Structure formats: C-alpha cells, structure tokens
Structure 1
Amino acid sequence: MADGVSRDARLPLDCAHPVFYCSAGDTNRPGRSIMNFFLETIQVLLLSIWYNVESFIHLFVPRKRKNIAGEVVLITGAGSGIGRLMAQEFASHGTVVVLWDINQEGMKETAKLAKQSGATKVHYYLCDCSDRNEVYRVADQVKREVGDVSILVNNAGIVTGKKFMDAPDSLIEKTVEVNSMAHFWTYKAFLPAMIANNHGHLVSIASSAGLIGVNGLADYCASKFAAVGFAESIALELLANGKDGIKTTIVCPYFINTGMFDGCQTKWPSLLPILKPDYVAKKIIHAVLTDQVYLMMPKSIYLIASLKNILPMKQGILLGQYLGAFNVMDRFTGRNRKQE
C-alpha cells in the first residue's frame, strides 16, 4: 500500500481468528460466519437423513439402469478370467469393446466371444500396463483408431503369493506397477477426454485385500490399498471440479475362482465363499449400470471392513484368526505364475 503498511497489518485482531475469516471494514462477518455454520450444519443433517432414507428405499426398489449402448469400453487384463467375462457382459449391451492384455491368444479368444455376445465392434491391443510409455503409446493408437474411451476398466492384476521376505524385489515392483501404478497411466491417458465431455465411468477392480491386510499378501495388499485410495481421491477431485458426469466404481471382491488364487482356502465358505467368476462379472456390470460407487463381494465384506475400523486391535486380531485370515494363503499355488 502507499503508506507502506500492509493490508493484513491493518486488520482488527479478531480477524486473524481462523474460524471467522473476516476482513477489514466488515465487522458483521463473524456473525454471518456463525450463522452460515448453523445453516450448513442443518443442511447436512437434513440431507444425511434423506440420503439414508433413499438408500433404504433402494433396498426394495431397484435403481434405474443407464443405457451404455455405443459407449467405448476399454478393459485391461482382458485375455482371461474376469476381464474376459466383463468383456462379454459389456458387449451384450451393444458397446464398442477395446481389449488390452499381454496375452495375444487370450485376447483373440475374448474378442471372438465379445463379438458373439453383441459388441458393435471389438478391438484388441497387446499392452503391458506396467510400462508407462507403452500405456501412453497404445492409448494414442486407441484414440486414433477407435475414438475416446468413455468406460475405463482397470482390471489387470498379478499376485506373487509369497511372504514378504521371500518375495524377490522384481516381483514386488511388478505387483505395484501392474496393480496400482498402471491405473495412474491409464487415467492420465483417457481421463482428459472424459473431463472435456463431463461424461464417462472409471472402474477400478481392486480387492477386499485393498481394505483389510492379509497374512502372506503384503505386496498385493499394498498395491490394492493404493488402487482403492487412488480411485477414491480421483472421484473426489472430479466432484470438486464439477465433473459429476464422470462416475466411479471401486470393486473389492474376496478371492475369485479364476485360477489366480488357486490353492487359497476359506475357513467359513458360507460367510466368505470363493466367488464364482460369472457372478462377479455380472455384479460389476450391474454396479456400473446403476452408478454404484463401492461394490464389495460377498456382502459380509461390508461388515468386516467396518468392524476393522472400530474394534480394539486385539479383538480385530481375534476376529481375523476366527475368519481364517492368518492361514488363507498357506496352500496357495496360483496359476503357474501366469499373469492374469
């Protein structure tokens, strides 16, 4: 300022208080801030009641399913397992299906099945999602040859199945690169078009091991925790920027019978069953069609994940032992070290 005194130095002492955010010459601002606090609190309480009522209603009344005919769906890890089944399910809705995998023959088979299931067009590309430069290169090729991707499904995943101290450094790095870092690169590649159009859907195939630590899956859990945290943060970032037309779905299933976790056992199959792939694929597509943000399977995972955050540590460990979390990987064999 002209007299050499800063604006901040001229503020009344009360204006430095972090709650009121008042400015010079605005003596009524503290009162307005308090009023705003009460009004916003009432608004939050009323909306919270409504959202819970709405959620209760939808336990009995199905949510409206959106039409995805003509959407361009890209699925990573589409050469086998859940990726292949999701491709078929999405294809049945008249979408354009784009497949990525490191397994060329597997993708060819998936492409054939997707076409038979009703896809308007099917494209497949060899891509190692753990390689950032390759993701960007193949993504550019997709955008040139197919167009903008509007539904992105990050499904590619691997598991070492070794105790942390027994796992080679290279496998630990690969697990993080495929299961979490790949999500960063695919979002960087395809999210700009979604933001420009304020339209799209991001699907992260994570794991219940991304919510709760599991003995014998340290690197896998770390990578899936990262995938969940990343997806949640991106969802909030989009909402904060007014991009509410871009939906997100985070999928956290228990072990799925695809071969990836062969040998794993469940202590209480009625409570934590090994999931059937067809069931999982159908539930994922339904979650996308109804804009469901979180999908945990089986439903007991919702309760177990909640209890983890509120129980005393010793009781949480006791519950983990009861559920068999300490021994679930004891007989792990996997799919002959093959990536899914």
Structure 2
Amino acid sequence: MIRSLTILAVYYAVRTVWPLRILYLLFSEEQHAHIETFLTWALPIIFLFDLNAMLSRWAENKWMWNHDKSAWHWRNELAVVTGGSSGIGFSVVEKLVSYGITVAVLDVEPFLNQLQPDQMSLVSFYQCDITSRDAVHKTAEKIRSDHGSPSVLINNAGIGNANTILEITPERLRSIFDVNLLSHWNTVQEFLPDMIAKKKGHIMSTASLAAFLGLAGMVDYSCTKAGMIAFYEGLTQELKHRYNAPQIKTSIVFPNWTKTRLTSHLTDSLKRSKAPILDPEDVAEAMVQQIIAAKSGQVILGPSLAASIRAFPWWVQEFIRDRLAQIVITNATTAVS
C-alpha cells in the first residue's frame, strides 16, 4: 500500500513541482500517455499486493497492530532450545547469547564447549530425552529452580531417516515421530502455562520445506514436518481463542536443505540435483532475528512460493516431486539436527 502511494506521489510531484517538472518535460505527450496507461493498470495491482502483504502481517500478529517489542529485555530473558548441542540448534544458541539472552539447552548429547567464556556463562546444559514427558517435567523444574521461567521456547530437535516406507522399522518410525513432532506437546505443555500467566512468550518450531512435499525415501520425515504445520496453526488458534493470550508469539521456520548431520549422507545426490544448501548459521540467523523482532509468522528459507505449492496444478506438484525423487536414495541411520 505504501509502495503504490509512493509511486503515485512521486509521479504527481514530477508533474507539478519545480524543478522536478523538468523531468516531466523531457518526455513527449505520447510517452506521457503510455506512462499514465501503465500506472492506471500497474498501481491497482501493486496496491493489491501491498494490501495482501499488510493483511498477512496483521494476521500473523494475531490481528494486533502492536508487536510490543518493549516488553522484551533480552538480558533478562531465558530461552529453551531443544537439540541445541549441534547443527542448527548450536548456531541458534550462539546467536541468542550474542544478545545477552540466557539459554537452557535440552539435548541427549553433551553440549560442546565451543563458545567464548563470557558466552558459556549464559548457557546451561540439561541432558534430557524430550520424548519423555516425565523427563521434560523434571528438567523444567530444574530450569525454573536455576533461572526462572523461560520466555522463549525453540523446538528445534529433529532426527531423520533415509528409508523407504517398506524398509523403515517400527522402532525408527516411532522414534522420528516422537522426536520431531510428539515432543512438542511435552515442551509446550510444560512451558506454555507460565507464558500464558504472564501474557508474554515466543514459541518457535524448526520445520522444513519437506513439510510441503512428500518425497521418496523420506516419507516419515515429511509427515512429521507437515504435522508441525498443523501444530503451529492449532497452537496459534488456541492462544487466541482458548487462552486469551494473543500476545504470545508463534513462529515456524522452513529451511531448505541445510549442512547438518541430517544431510551428510546426501552430499553427492544434492550436488547432482544442484539443490541449494544452506549453512546452519544462516538458518539460525533468520530464526534469532524473528525472535529479536518479536514477530509471529512463517519464515521460509527457500523459494518464496514453497508454501503455495499445494495450490499448484497437480501435474506441476508431481513434476517437482519427480525432480527431487533421487536425492534420498541411500539407507541411513538417524541423525540429530
């Protein structure tokens, strides 16, 4: 909306205001007619795009105009990051502490001391199996005893298999759903009540562009990430309509292929497909900037049309899936992201 009004204002100024009118006089009457015809058609289209973007931002902010960034004082905030010992999670931790945010890392693997001493002083590691409701509760009690209640929860932990539907074992299938999806109920049930009581918080989930496509060789992974979309949407609705807490931010992040242990066995096939590969630091930067901006919404780190792929004709969708069908072709054990 601002963009279209700016274009119109500039054109009007060029026509009427000296010395800008000199620019107007450089063109012939015929050229002026073409410009005005173009603006007659272009400005409404630009206006509609701007209006759509504005309404989307308003909806993402739960129909509130104010982002209320003043409520956040980063050196007083506590963030919980699951899967924070490596990969994207570690990079998120590193960037959070750069803002002075205290971070509690939940992971089954030890947190490697790869940060500066002043940064490490802001990080507390809690070995925790997030698939266990009891383990999450006991860890949460320890976190609250040590630091107080967290205001930020980043559900980042994830695992991946490289197996077909017929090859995957029941144990591995159950495991990936437990870690990638069902664990979100454990952490949100534990930490959300305090956020609701304070009318302040931010819950973020690390999904994947695989949420929009069911790909051969990683059907289980795609299913868990698609399920995260439903979880994110439902959580957002319940915060507005069940708990009267629209102030609590909700975000979901969709990275493209990223250089983590999840993709280490796909290096050759990714190169052959010429698929872009993100660095964990770039994904983490986008995630943390969303937190610092105190914004809700989707963060898509890949083709901007990815979220709209289900609206494409079926033959287009299938063509895209076919192009990606040979990326995950080797059997592999699970890896933590």
TM range (shorter): 0.7 to 0.9
CA distance in 2, matches of 1:52, 1:198: 27
Q: Which position in structure 1 is the counterpart of 2:209?
A: 208
Name the aligned partner's letter for residue 328 of structure 1: I
Contact 1:238 1:244 in 2 (8 A): yes
SS in 2 for 1:163: coil
Pairing partner for 1:294 from 287, 291, 298: 298
1:329 aligns with 2:328: yes
1:277 aligns with 2:276: no
| Distance verdict in 2 for CA 1:273–1:48, change over 3 Å | closer
Q: Which position in structure 2 is the counterpart of 1:310?
A: 311
Q: Which position in structure 1 is the counterpart of 2:174?
A: 173
Report which structure shows greater RCO (CA 8 Å, sep ≥6). 2
Residue 263 of structure 1 and its aligned partner are, at CA, apart by 2.9
Residue 268 of structure 1 and its aligned partner are, at CA, apart by 5.1
CA distance in 2, matches of 1:67, 1:332: 46
Q: Which position in structure 2 is the counterpart of 1:86?
A: 92
> CA RMSD for the aligned pairs?
2.6
Residue 219 of structure 1 and its aligned partner are, at CA, apart by 1.1
Q: Which position in structure 2 is the counterpart of 1:255?
A: 257
| Distance verdict in 2 for CA 1:49–1:122, change over 3 Å | closer
Query: Once the two structures are superposed, what CA deviation does each residue of 1:217-242 show, in whole Å capped at 9, x if it has no partner?
Result: 11111111112210121012112243
Name the aligned partner's letter for residue 84 of structure 1: F
Residue 338 of structure 1 and its aligned partner are, at CA, apart by 3.9
Query: Once the two structures are superposed, what CA deviation does each residue of 1:263-282 show, in whole Å capped at 9, x if it has no partner?
Result: 3233553xx41111111111
CA distance in 1, matches of 2:74, 2:218: 36
CA distance in 2, matches of 1:315, 1:82: 31
| Higher normalized helix content (fraction of residues) | 2
SS in 1 for 2:299: strand
CA distance in 1, matches of 2:155, 2:207: 9
Contact 1:74 1:99 in 2 (8 A): yes
SS in 2 for 1:78: coil
Residue 53 of structure 1 and its aligned partner are, at CA, apart by 4.8
Residue 150 of structure 1 and its aligned partner are, at CA, apart by 0.5
Q: Which position in structure 2 is the counterpart of 1:59?
A: none
Query: Once the two structures are superposed, what CA deviation does each residue of 1:46-95 show, in whole Å capped at 9, x if it has no partner?
Result: 99974635879xxxxxx997652321011011111111111000000001
1:339 aligns with 2:336: yes
| Distance verdict in 2 for CA 1:320–1:237, change over 3 Å | same
CA distance in 2, matches of 1:337, 1:207: 16
Name the aligned partner's letter for residue 91 of structure 1: V
The TM-score normalised by the length of structure 1 is 0.74
Residue 244 of structure 1 and its aligned partner are, at CA, apart by 2.1
CA distance in 2, matches of 1:161, 1:115: 36
CA distance in 2, matches of 1:203, 1:126: 21
Which structure 1 residue ranges, 5 or more long, are not aligned?
1-45, 57-62
CA distance in 2, matches of 1:114, 1:196: 34
Aligned residues with identical type, % of pairs: 25
Contact 1:114 1:122 in 2 (8 A): no
The TM-score normalised by the length of structure 2 is 0.75
Q: Which position in structure 2 is the counterpart of 1:25?
A: none
| Distance verdict in 2 for CA 1:339–1:120, change over 3 Å | closer
Which structure 2 residue ranges, 5 or more long, are not aligned?
1-46, 58-66
Name the aligned partner's letter for residue 238 of structure 1: L
CA distance in 1, matches of 2:240, 2:115: 33
